[in-house]
Every structure is written in C-alpha cells, then in structure tokens.
Structure 1
Amino acid sequence: MAALAPPVAAIRIAVRRALTALPADGPVLVACSGGADSLALAAATAFVAPRLGRRAGLVTVDHGLQEGSAGRAEAVACWAVEAGLDPVEAVPVTVAGRPGGPEAAAREARYQALVDAARRHRAAALLVGHTRDDQAETVLLALARGAGPRGLAGMPERRDLDGVPLLRPLLDVTRDDTRKACAALGLTPWEDPHNADPSYARARVRADVLPVLLRALGPGVLDNLARTARLVAADTAALDDLAAAALAAPAREASPGDGPVGGGVVVGVRAVGGGLSVAALAALPTAVRTRVLHAWARELGASPAALSHRHVAALEALVTDWHGQGATHLPGGLRVARRAGRLLPLGGGPG
C-alpha cells in the first residue's frame, strides 16, 4: 500500500482534532469554493468524519460575480456527492446592493448563506479552509491599518457566527501543503482570479509583500506571524473577560480582596441610577477601560461596523481628559455626556 502523502496526513490530523472537540449531535458542513484550501479541507473531512461516527456535508456559494460561476458551483457540488459528503448544497447569492466594497459585500453574502445552510441542517459547526498563509496576511493587513490588538489577533480557530460555531482547522497548515494534498489525491482545484487581482489589498500582500518577507527573513516568518496572532489573541481574550466583568457589576469602593490589574483594581462600573461611574472607569487600566467603553457603546445601540477607535477615544476623553466638553456622538445618532460623575446616554437607551 502506498504511503500517505505527508500533507494529506497533516490536514486529516488537523480536521480530526477540530471534530473531536465538537458535541456529538449534528453534521458538520464544509464551506468549499473549489480552491485548493477548501477542497483539501473537504476531502479530509469526507475521510475523517465518518470514522468518528459523524456526518459531513458541503456548501458551495455562487456569488454570481464571474462568468461560469454557477457551473463551477455545480461541479463542486457534484464532486462532493461523489466523495460521500451529505448534505450538499450549491447556494446562489446576490452581492450587489450590499454595503461596503465588493470584497466585503461578497464576504457578507457568503457567510449569511453559510449560516442559513447550517441552520437548515442543524449543523454542529461550519468548517472553512483558512490556512497559516491567510493568517499571516491577516496580521500584516492589520498592522498596515493600525487595527490594534484585536486585529493583530488574526482569525480565531473557533468563533460564533450568529449562533453557529465556525471552525478553522487549517490555521497551522500552509497553503502549499493544501496544494500538495490536492495533487496527491488527484484533485484539480479552481484558481480564483480575484486572488491575483491587484485591486484587492490581500492579493497585493500575497503577491508582493509576503514573498519579499520570505526572501528577506526566511520561511519562518509565516510561523512567527501566526504565533504572534495566537499570543495576542490570548491576551486580548483575557482583557475582554476583565472588561466584561467590570461592565456587568455595580460601581463600589475597592476592597482588599479585589484582584490587582496593572497596579489598579478591577471593580464594577455601573452607576446607581444608570450610566457608568466616571471614578470607577478612571480606576481601570487603560486597556480594560477602552474595552468597557467599546462594549457599552455597542450595548447602547452603536453599530459594531461603524464604531471606531475615534468614538471610543472620545468617550475615554470624558473620563480622563474632562474639561467641560459637550456630548460625544456615536454611530446611530447616539450621544453620551458626562453628568454628575457619570457617563449617561442622552435621550434614553440602556444605562
């Protein structure tokens, strides 16, 4: 019997690790465009899932943005049926008219279609084929955009997508290995022309930036960027937990039992009568305070997509740089003012 190609084995191991952490009920669905990454993931899932006693299906999304896209989606679906995946769907979506640029609009349409499919089939999880190369590109783009720790944390291995677990089993697998796995399995992946279109920032990073870094710093740069994302993600999660605890609790005097963080203490910030206590906010470390303010702004109704660093900085100025300034404006027509030692939403809303 021929030896199993190492890239095929590596991808199967990654899929097995992801699937064994799931609850027993429900199939898993692989999102597959037909490209090397998602095709290798789908093939591995078709092999691994039945051996774990789990059904596995596939969803391919037709964005309708390229000639022949419907036929290509149908071809992917036909391959999936032959590979033993079930259920299998080819889902058309409409991208035009959605907010944001074409890339963002296509992504929104795609993920909505995937979530809808997962709900129809009561899937235990959605699997997507992002690789270590994708993670490195994400970190570089975040650095260029000044995205801060949340951006540098990159893509998580697992996240909740409108109530559906979304898994990325291949974040420790290289793009080159997915291509080698497809070749070893006799699969012919589709090459998306958008991936080489220089009008997209990610395509420019892929074609121009990463090759320069690899030549200058060696192949370890991909591992280092991915490891940076994991380390920052762990720190970000810890700070988010501290912020959530502070936002959930009423403001009070600090006691000796309070846990020290950054030289201060973590106490609640909810003020009696509504709003947030300025004194309690001021006592928090900056990294926790800004997260509290960000979460509170979302709680008030500010759109997460529209809420930016400058909005949070303006809220923080009401705490740390108070000189009698007027209300801070947030997305959605919301306003927040400082009154009698509290941050208060003007015109109603949760406090």
Structure 2
Amino acid sequence: MSATDDILAAAFRCLEAEPSLRGLGLAVSGGGDSMALLHAMAGPARERGIAIRVATVDHGLRDGARAEAERVARDCAALGLPHEILDWTGWEGRGNLQDAARQARRALLAEWAGRHGLEAVALGHTLDDQAETVLMRLARGSGVDGLSAMSALRREDGIAWLRPFLGLRRETLRAWLSERNLGWDEDPSNADPRFQRVRARTALQELAPLGIAAQGLADTAQRMTMAREALEALAADLSGRALRLRAGAVEIDAALLARAPEETRLRLVSAAIGWIAGRAYRPRLASLQAGLQGAGQGRWRSLSGVMLAERGGRLWLCREPGRAGGPVAADALWDGRWRLDPPPAEAEAGGLRLGALGAAGLAGLPGWRDTGLPRQALLASPALWRDDALLAAPCVDPAGPFAARIVAEFPYPTLPH
C-alpha cells in the first residue's frame, strides 16, 4: 500500500470504530501530525455525514503560537470547517510544564466538545509518539498499564478520544503533506532538550544500533494493552464479588481481597482510591503497599486524599475529611463528584451551601451509628447547610428531603448496596 492508502485507510478505520458518530472534533495544533489529521479526516467524515469542528489550543507559552493557531484557522476556512482557538491561562510557572499543559489541553478540548455536542475528538499521535511514551515510562519503572501507553480509542469525560495514526510514522505523514503542497509549523519546543519527550526522541536514535526502535516499542505497547485487558478482567471479577459502594465510601471483603493475587488487589484498591479522590493517576506502588499494610493492622491510613482501614473483616476506603472540597452553591458539584438530587428549587437555593458534614454536623445526628458506616466516611459525606444550620445529611438520613448522588461511575461491577 502507498502512504496515501495507509493514511486514508487509518482515517476510515477510525470512523468505522464509531458507526453512530454524528459530530467529530479534530484537535489541530498546526504541526505536521495534526495537519495530516485535518486533511485526511475531513473527506471521509463528510462522506459519512459527520459534522466536523476543529480546535487549536493556544497555551500562551511562546511567541508565534498565536500566529500558528491563526494559520490553522485559515486552512479550516478554506476547507469550510468551523475552527476555534482555545486559550490556556492557568500556568503558574511551577511543577511539570508538559504534564500541566497536557492536562489543560485535554480539559479545554473536553469542554469544547461538550459545548458543541461532539461525541468524539481525534488526536494526531503517531507510532513515534507511542514509542517515545513507552521509553519515558520505562524510565519511570512503569508497570503493565503505563507500558500499554496510548490507546487508539479511549472513552473518558463522556467523549471517545480517537488516535487514528498510532500505527503510522511521523515521517510518513509529513511526506504525504509535502506531496500535496500542504504546509505545517514546527514547534521549536520539539527540539528543546529540557523536555523529557525530546530527550526520549534523541535516545531512540542512539538506541537504534542495539535494535531498539520505534516499531518494537510500539509493538510492546500493543502487547501490554492485551495484558492490561486480562488484568482488568480479573479486577472486575473480584470487584463484583467483594466490593460495595456505601455513601461515597468503598467497602471490600478483606478475606476475598487477601486471597486474590497481589496485582489484582492493588489494581482494585487503586481504582477505589481514584474514584473517591478523583485522581487520574494511581498512587506509587510503594505507597500503596505500605498503605494497605497499615490499614490491615486496623489503623486509619491516609493515601492520596483517601482514608483506609480494616474494620470487622472489611477494608474501608473513604474520602479524607481534610481533603474534601469547600462549600459550594447547593446546586453545584461538590468535591468533584457529589450532587444533590433533586437540587433545591431556585427560589430556595439562596444562602444554601453544599459541603462536608464534618464533626459539627455529625454531632447533631446521634443516630449515625445505625448506618453501619465508619465515622471517617460520614465526616466527608455531603450535607446541606444554611450558615451554621444543618438542613440535610443524605448519607445519614436517606429518608430526608434531599438525596445525594455521585456523578462518576465506578470502573468495575459492584455488589448491590
């Protein structure tokens, strides 16, 4: 097959993976990979009656970025595609810049897609990006999940994130653009050795004499993906037999958990921690093992914003009270996961706040022990307040005027409540 055939076949396969797709977003920075995405996806999507929108994220971090985004806008106008520039203004000059920019970019694109009713967003990552990711994660000592790297299709934030070019080389896309006199911009940060990805790219060239090349690393990622799917199935099976969700906390049968292989135990507990604390990343392995060991001795341990302890043959995980979010409007999302259901009527909402029950609220509910829930779990449960007056504590009194629900789904099957 020619490069053209490969690229168009990748575009068609991507769209065939989502047969009911009606709205598709393209994330286009102006670099070679994303410009190939723009020009290769537009035709096949139109043939299927799929509405396309394009977005460029301007991180505001270097001169020239705005001009590049505006060039993308002009190319989109020539193709008859609506384009929007999304501005990131959240960098405070601290921490890992590339990680912060990546997370901000994903959040901006997710908000943009939701605003326009787009079911999917396509990204221009290539086989070279996949290989560099595997190499960087090897350097961090990542396990199976990390080494499975990027997925061609991932569902998150209610959106299907598509990577049609994961099997294609960067040079192939650029050659295809050049043959058609289609231009792109080179981001100078892609040659800046301060960034780990740039160093990984250089290291791949130096490793070539050893036979360590991009294709082999990408093949490793594919095999690790198969291994991860098998491990996920084991964790899902254990969860369905051993785990219950209780008022935003997680209760796991300690005996069943102890009999499972260590990888399965750690995977299930990590998923519970991520669900409770709203974390995208798993705790470090050593911290997770130490936390579980301490919890098994009956002591409450803090890990990644979550408290865990074994009580009466059950491992309990709940939100750490001191890490729960501050009060918000009664009809808003609290602590990244709780909503009142139904929310207070607009006329009633003035002065009402949704926040943690806390020690003061729990002290006014002498029957809380009847719930069978640990005190730690209830301290960080949602409550409706007017100033210092407690109006409702849905997790303690489910028969009250308001219920509370968690918007995030647990990633595995669970036992009934």
**What's the TM-score once normalised by structure 2's chain length?**
0.71
Structure-1 residue corresponding to 2:262: 286
Residue type of the alignment partner of 1:341: G
Structure-2 residue corresponding to 1:210: 204
SS of residue matched to 2:377: coil
- Distance in 2, Cα, partners of 1:297 & 1:289: 12
Structure 1 residue 164: Cα displacement: 0.9
Structure having the larger proportion of residues in strand: 2
Aligned pair 1:30/2:43, yes or no?
no
Change in Cα spacing, 1:211 to 1:340, as seen in structure 2 (3 Å) is same
Structure 1 residue 62: Cα displacement: 1.2
Aligned pair 1:139/2:134, yes or no?
yes
**1:269-308 mapped onto 2 (5 Å cutoff):** 269-270=243-244, 275-301=251-277, 303-305=279-281, 307-308=283-284
> Unpaired runs of 5+ in structure 1?
250-267
SS of residue matched to 1:230: helix
**1:1-351 mapped onto 2 (5 Å cutoff):** 6-84=2-80, 86-97=81-92, 100-207=95-202, 209-217=203-211, 221-249=213-241, 268-270=242-244, 275-301=251-277, 303-305=279-281, 307-318=283-294, 324=297, 326-332=299-305, 334-345=306-317, 347-348=376-377
Residue type of the alignment partner of 1:31: A
Aligned Cα RMSD in Å? 2.6
SS of residue matched to 2:263: helix
Q: Could you report, residue by residue, the CA deviation over 1:215-240 in whole angstroms, capped at 9, with x for unpaired residues?
A: 3317xx32221111111112112212
Structure 1 residue 241: Cα displacement: 2.7
Taking only the aligned residue pairs, the percentage that are identical comes to: 34
- Distance in 1, Cα, partners of 2:314 & 2:18: 44
Aligned residues between the structures: 321
Residue type of the alignment partner of 2:240: A
- Distance in 2, Cα, partners of 1:185 & 1:348: 61
**What's the TM-score once normalised by structure 1's chain length?**
0.84
Checking the alignment, whether the CA contact within 8 Å between 2:124 and 2:165 is kept in structure 1 is yes
SS of residue matched to 1:109: helix
SS of residue matched to 1:348: helix
Residue type of the alignment partner of 1:155: M
Residue type of the alignment partner of 1:174: R
Which 4+ runs in 1 deviate beyond 6 A? 271-274
Residue type of the alignment partner of 2:119: A
SS of residue matched to 2:190: helix
Structure 1 residue 306: Cα displacement: 7.0
Checking the alignment, whether the CA contact within 8 Å between 2:270 and 2:282 is kept in structure 1 is no
Structure 1 residue 11: Cα displacement: 1.2
Structure-2 residue corresponding to 1:261: none
Change in Cα spacing, 1:222 to 1:306, as seen in structure 2 (3 Å) is closer
Structure 1 residue 124: Cα displacement: 2.6
Checking the alignment, whether the CA contact within 8 Å between 2:134 and 2:217 is kept in structure 1 is yes
Change in Cα spacing, 1:300 to 1:55, as seen in structure 2 (3 Å) is closer
SS of residue matched to 1:279: helix
Checking the alignment, whether the CA contact within 8 Å between 2:250 and 2:272 is kept in structure 1 is no
Structure 1 residue 63: Cα displacement: 1.1
Checking the alignment, whether the CA contact within 8 Å between 1:152 and 1:232 is kept in structure 2 is yes
Structure 1 residue 187: Cα displacement: 1.4
Q: Could you report, residue by residue, the CA deviation over 1:238-263 in whole angstroms, capped at 9, with x for unpaired residues?
A: 212321232233xxxxxxxxxxxxxx
SS of residue matched to 1:67: coil
- Distance in 1, Cα, partners of 2:254 & 2:101: 42
Residue type of the alignment partner of 2:79: A
Structure 1 residue 326: Cα displacement: 3.5
Change in Cα spacing, 1:149 to 1:179, as seen in structure 2 (3 Å) is same
- Distance in 2, Cα, partners of 1:68 & 1:274: 49
- Distance in 1, Cα, partners of 2:291 & 2:235: 15
